[in-house]
Amino acid sequence: MENKGVELGIQYTNRVNSGSLSGLNYSVGFNMDHYKNKLVKFGEREISVNYLREEGYEWEAYYMIEQIGIFQTPDQVSSSPKQFNDATVPGDLKYLDADGDGDVDNDDKVYIPGKYPKLNSAGKIYA
């Protein structure tokens, strides 16, 4: 696995020397990081329910049926691929028929990016 990233942390610490808060020590800090990982040499592809382990993708990437919208009308329901069951109605989620067989089922799972955030950040204040 290849891991790459960068982290930036900034902290300010001070002490109040006069006034009603004299003697108060305080700190304000901010931290952010960006990282990514990728399987570069893994072996045979592994699928575990909704996770994928395969060279070229991040560790345990999402492997799911892609949601592409919400059915708005009965006409949209009737003109779309079958969605897991015959009881689809307007207001239900609409899924992508990735393999194009006219039926949305577990064979339509695809890699979904975004398991790991592009940027993490956190702030803290303490006295």
Would you kindly state where each structural domain of the chain is located, as residue ranges? 66-108
Give CA separation, 88 vs 68, 73, 108, 109, in Å: 15, 11, 17, 19
Task: Dig out the tokens for 115 from the structure.
Answer: 């398991």
Contacts of 58 (CB under 8 A, 6+ apart): 36, 37, 38, 39, 115, 116
Beta strand ranges found along 39-96 (DSSP E): 46-48, 51-53, 61-64, 67-70, 82-83, 93-95
Please give the pLDDT value at position 114.
Answer: 83
- Digit-by-digit pLDDT tens for the chain (127 residues) are 899 999 999 999 999 999 999 999 999 999 999 988 899 998 899 998 899 999 999 999 999 999 999 999 999 999 999 998 778 999 999 999 999 999 999 899 999 988 888 888 999 888 7
- In the block, residue with structure tokens 């955030």: 117
Whole-number Å distance between alpha carbons of 67 and 108: 11
Its pTM stands at 0.68
**CB 96, CB 65: distance < 8 Å:** yes
Please give the pLDDT value at position 112.
Answer: 92
Whole-number Å distance between alpha carbons of 3 and 78: 46
